[in-house]
Amino acid sequence: MVFGSIVSSPLGSLSPQQALQLANVYLDNACNIEDPEIALVLCHDTEVSLSQAKKAVRRTGDQEAIKDIAAVYINLGKLLERRGYGNGAQTSYKKAVKLG
């Protein structure tokens, strides 16, 4: 998809660092928005970006990126917990632990 001179690309073409940066953008916005439904959509987008980052890291084996991904999963869990989504928070925490 093209917006002016900006070309939108699928997540699959992003590097682990780019997917992680995108996850952080979504999470930051989810933290700062008051509307709980929009926040939940942004949390989902965070999860999708983190999933893509994990796939990309499996190819590269970048241990620093793995730690960064785990940290974002923890922060996502904290946000979900604050917003009253305990099950989602626990899932996010488990994914962080699984990464190490």
Output the pLDDT for position 38.
96
The yes-or-no verdict on residue 81 having pLDDT over 80 is yes
Cα three-residue angle 70-72-74, rounded to 5 degrees: 70
Is there a domain that residue 7 lies in?
no
**Rounded CA separation 19/25 (Å):** 10
Is there a domain that residue 18 lies in?
yes
Tens digits of residue pLDDT in 34-77: 999 999 999 999 999 999 999 888 878 888 999 999 999 999 99
Is there a domain that residue 2 lies in?
no
Q: Give the structural domain span for 24.
A: 12-99
Is there a domain that residue 6 lies in?
no
Query: How many domains is the chain built from?
Result: 1
Of 4 and 25, which is predicted with more confidence? 25
Is there a domain that residue 26 lies in?
yes
Percent of the chain whose pLDDT exceeds 70: 88
Mean pLDDT value across residues 69-86:
96
Do 23 and 63 form a contact (C-beta atoms < 8 A)? no
Is there a domain that residue 70 lies in?
yes
